[in-house]
Structure 1
């Protein structure tokens, strides 16, 4: 899991509010499978909401910790 890419995805979607899977693949130069794994992680933490063909930034993430918790979890799993 590339923490820098995850951070960039969050910032990109936060700025635009919504984007497609194809846009993310092109912007970050990764495969569909990689983007889908990243989206799955962000959706589990309620940072984004999945919609058909893309994602929407969640302006009000719940109490699960949001983006900072994702980075902590990723760092722990790599060690």
Structure 2
């Protein structure tokens, strides 16, 4: 079950990390859109004030490296 809403997400994992470069709500919305477009990502939650992000994903469909690459392409840095 997905921790965010309880939807079935067999094999999902929670990945927590910090994102550098968030300057407000627009950045948060942009990042959420980028990450939710990745296959296997079911939920994203980002705190704008400290850059803490939690992502629930299926690692067989999207790896942590895929997440980092997508965020770098969108102009943000990941701090693990």
Which TM-score band applies after superposition, normalised by the shorter structure?
0.3 to 0.5
Q: Which has the higher strand share?
A: 2
Q: Which has the higher helix share?
A: 1
More relative contact order, 1 or 2 (CA 8 Å, 6+ apart): 2
Question: Normalized against structure 2, the TM-score is what?
Answer: 0.37
Question: Normalized against structure 1, the TM-score is what?
Answer: 0.37
